[in-house]
Amino acid sequence: MSEGGNFKTELPSFLEIMGIDLHRHLLGVSLHEWVPVIMSLLVGILLILLSYIGTRRLEKVPRGSQALLEVIVEGLENFLRSVMGPTAPKYLPFIGTIFIYILTMNLWGLIPLMHSPTNKLNTTAALALVVFFNTHIQGAKKHGIINYAKHFADPLWLAPLMVPIHIVGELARPLSLALRLFGNLTGEDIAIAALVSLVILIPVFVPVPVHLFMVVLAILFSTIQAIVFTLLSAIYIASATGALEEE
């Protein structure tokens, strides 16, 4: 598919189907740039509704949606315990939310007329920055601001060399998180859009959509990327708080 002579890397969203001109501007930003924000909000609203439905009538013997949510929470806690040890429950609400939110956003683009917000660098950078700041906030809370800052200059006699190295290393973490997630999701969307376009252009009957195999792979890779992002986030926080050393 092409638009204005340029190859279109993603399928149309429901906003385009509704006839909304995405070239218009809102608050100085084109509506096209607002699409990932809208999709992120829709994902958030969906997760809030599902959480409310699953927890509005808690029972001692869980069943239905409550049982499913408890299985998910227990699975995430066991996963974090394998990385962070006994401190895992303390960070489960944050890291668990990150995993579920990213996974849902990754898979959101597989729904017809929806887009994955994580195929935009702005979205993945925002997620990475949240992890980056929370990591250092937790480290400062655990060790105190002064003691936490001291580890950037350890050993002290090499402080002029170690401080820049530590700072560059810390800044590289959110950059790698953002670029890894963005690159993988963008690649998936481009591949699916290209295969769907191929079906449209070839005037023959195809009993099985040629992009179906790519959709299956997209589900697999979306899950893997959510796990990788979550795992690295847990390692960063555990490293900052000293949980790795305690283990």
> pLDDT digit string (tens) for 149-185?
887 777 766 767 777 888 888 899 999 999 999 988 8
Cβ atoms within 10 Å of 126's Cβ, excluding its own: 16
> What pLDDT is stored for residue 176 in this prediction?
92
> What pLDDT is stored for residue 107 in this prediction?
92
> What pLDDT is stored for residue 6 in this prediction?
46
Cβ atoms within 10 Å of 229's Cβ, excluding its own: 25
pTM: 0.84
117-131 pLDDT tens trace: 998 899 999 999 999
What is the dihedral sign for C-alpha 212, 214, 215, 216?
Answer: positive
* Low-confidence residues in the chain, pLDDT < 70: 1-12, 20-23, 156-157, 159, 196-211, 243-247
